[in-house]
Amino acid sequence: MYIAISGNIGSGKTSLVEMLSRRLGYEPFFERIDNPYLDSFYQDMARWSFNLQMSFLSKKTMQVKEIMNSGNDIIQDRTIFEEAYVFVRNLNRMGLMSTPDYELYMSFFDLLAAGIRRPDAIVYLKASIPTLISQIRRRGREYEMGIQPEYLEGLNELYDDWIAGYDGRVITIDVDKYDFVLSPDHFEAVTGKITEALALPGGGLSLGEAGLR
């Protein structure tokens, strides 16, 4: 089984990967944030967006190879597809990545994506802007302190678009209502819904709007 945890900056992906990997006994694959362009990007997004995303694409491609060669059950922190369809698209849409740079990035991505294994299920951590900002501040990464709400809002819109058109199993968690990091009860509820959904053939479940079921 190959599960991916997807969601905006500050949605809790890394924490959930860590917690679920311990609970389920899956091999965790964390997002590699040791990007040499990261600090520069948050200071001048338009100048460094292409460099940043090409570096992430390289690291994510290497990780995908590791995943495909692993014989274990896997849980991954953010997919390679989000990099292209959410983050890079958002940068181009905001005028922070030129159209030629965007088209060059996508040409590389399309070549790589043709041979990439897709997750068996995606857990989408959906969160409002206030929740994202609160959690970004709570974890205290200095380079993220200057992230603007408008940037996060654009990412949220594209995440919703990507998830709506995704041809595969999706389990949506409303992070505004379930703080699985601070509340053991919420983590138990989230874990239960994920394992329940994975045991069902096809489809997906949404946790949040209708409460616990």
Task: List residues with catalytic annotation.
Answer: 77
Q: What is the DSSP letter of 18?
A: H
* Cα dihedral 50, 15, 148, 174 in deg (nearest 10): 110
* Distances in whole angstroms, Cα of residue 152 to Cα of each of 122, 134, 159: 20, 12, 10
In terms of Cα–Cα distance, which of 46, 109, 108 is closest to 81?
A: 109
Query: How far separated are the first and last CA of the chain, in Å rounded?
Result: 24
3-class secondary structure for 116-167?
CCCCCEEEEEECCHHHHHHHHHHHCCHHHCCCCHHHHHHHHHHHHHHHHCCC
Classify 109 as helix, strand or coil: helix
Instruction: For strands 2-7 and 74-77, give the pairing.
Output: parallel
Contact between 158 and 164 under an 8 Å Cβ cutoff? The reply is no
Question: How many helices (DSSP H) and strands (DSSP E) are in the chain?
Answer: 9, 6
